Structure 1
Amino acid sequence: MTAPQHLTITGPEDILGYVPHSLGYWPSRSLVAMTMQGKRLGATLRVDLPEGASSRHGLEDFSRTVAQYLLADDDANGTLLMFFTDDEWTDASGPPGGRELLADLETALGLAGMPVRDAWYVGAEYWRNVYCTDTGCCPLPGRPLAEIRDSRLNAEMVYLGSSVGAPPGDGPAGGPEPEENPAVLAAEQRWTETLCGKSASRPQFERVLDTWESALAAKSGTTQLPHEVAGFLRATLCVPSWRDAVLVMAAAGRPAAVAGAEEFGIFSALPGPPATAPAGMEAPAATARPSIQPAGAAEPGSSPVPDNGEVPANQEVPGYGEVLLGLTPLVPDWTRMKSLEDAMLQLAHCGPGEAQAAAWTAKAWIEWCRGRGSYAHASLGRALEAAPGYRLAELLSEVVRRGTICGWAARREAAWQKFGTDAA
Structure 2
Amino acid sequence: MNALTIKDPADLLSFIGHTLGFWPQESLVCITLDKGKVGATLRIDLPRQPGTELPYARTVSSYLTSDTSTTSIVFALYTSQHCQPGQPKPHAATIAALTGVLAQNGITIRDGVFVSDETYSPYDSEPGQDISLPISTTQYSRVNAEFIYRGSTIEPTNRIILPTPTHEEDHATAVENCMNSIRAQAPHQAALQASQLWTNMLDSNDFPTDEDCTTLIAYFQLPHIRDRLMADIPGINEPPQHLLFAQTETAPKWPRVEWAQQLLIHAYTRTSPQHAAPILTTIGYINWWEGRGSKAHQYLQLALDIDPSYRFARLTDQMLGAGIIAGWNTNKNTAYRNNLDMP
Pairwise same-fold verdict (TM > 0.5): yes
For structure 2, the 5+ residue unaligned runs are none
The partner residue of 1:80 within 74, 87, 96 is 74
Query: Which one-letter code corresponds to 1:198 in the other structure?
Result: Q
Aligned-partner residue type, residue 165 of structure 1: E
1:92 is displaced (CA, Å) by 7.2
1:125 aligns to what? 118
Q: Deviations over 1:361-402 (max 9, x none)?
A: 111111111111111111111111222121221121111111
Alignment of 1:274-353 (within 5 A): 292=237, 318-353=238-273
Aligned to 1:54: 50
Matches within 5 A, 1:129-168: 129-133=122-126, 140=130, 142-168=132-158
Partners of 2:271 and 2:100 in 1: CA distance: 50
Figure out how many residues of one structure are paired with residues of the other and give that number: 339
Q: What does residue 250 of structure 1 align with?
A: 233
| Cα distance in 2 between the residues matched to 1:154 and 1:80 | 18
Measure the CA separation in 2 of the matches of 1:386 and 1:379: 11
Percent identity (aligned): 26
Describe the shift of the 1:249–1:241 C-alpha distance in structure 2 as closer, same or farther (beyond 3 A).
same
- Taking a change above 3 Å as real, the CA distance of residues 381 and 116 of structure 1, as seen in their structure-2 partners, is same
CA displacement at 1:332 relative to structure 2: 0.8
- State the secondary structure of the residue aligned to 1:409: helix
Name the TM-score, length of structure 1 as normaliser: 0.74
Match of 2:292 among 372, 386, 411: 372
Rounded to whole Å, the distance in 2 between the matches of 1:418 and 1:39 is 16
In the alignment, the residues of structure 1 paired with residue 171 and residue 145 of structure 2 have an alpha-carbon distance, to the nearest angstrom, of 42
Distance 1:207 1:401 in 2: 35
CA contact (8 A) 2:242 2:248 kept: yes
Inter-partner Cα distance in structure 2 for 1:92 and 1:197: 73
Distance 2:106 2:241 in 1: 31
Instruction: Give the ranges of 4+ consecutive aligned residues of structure 1 lying more than 4 Å apart after TM superposition.
Output: 90-94
Query: Which letter does structure 2 place at the counterpart of 1:54?
Result: P
Do the aligned partners of 1:29 and 1:48 also contact (CA within 8 Å) in 2? Answer: yes
Aligned-partner SS, 1:375 = helix
**Which of the numbers 19, 32, 35 marks the counterpart of 1:35?**
32
Match of 2:83 in 1: 89
Name the structure 1 match of 2:3.
Answer: 6
Within the alignment, does 1:44 sit opposite 2:30 as a pair?
no
Match of 1:188 in 2: 175
Query: Cα distance, 1:36 vs. partner?
Result: 1.0
3-state DSSP of counterpart to 2:32:
strand
Residue 43 of structure 1: how far off its partner (Å):
1.0
> Are 1:113 and 2:106 counterparts?
yes
Q: Tell me how far apart the structure 1 counterparts of residues 265 and 338 of structure 2 sit (CA, whole Å).
A: 18
The structure that has the greater radius of gyration is 1
Structure with the bigger percentage of helix:
2
TM-score, structure 2 normalization: 0.91
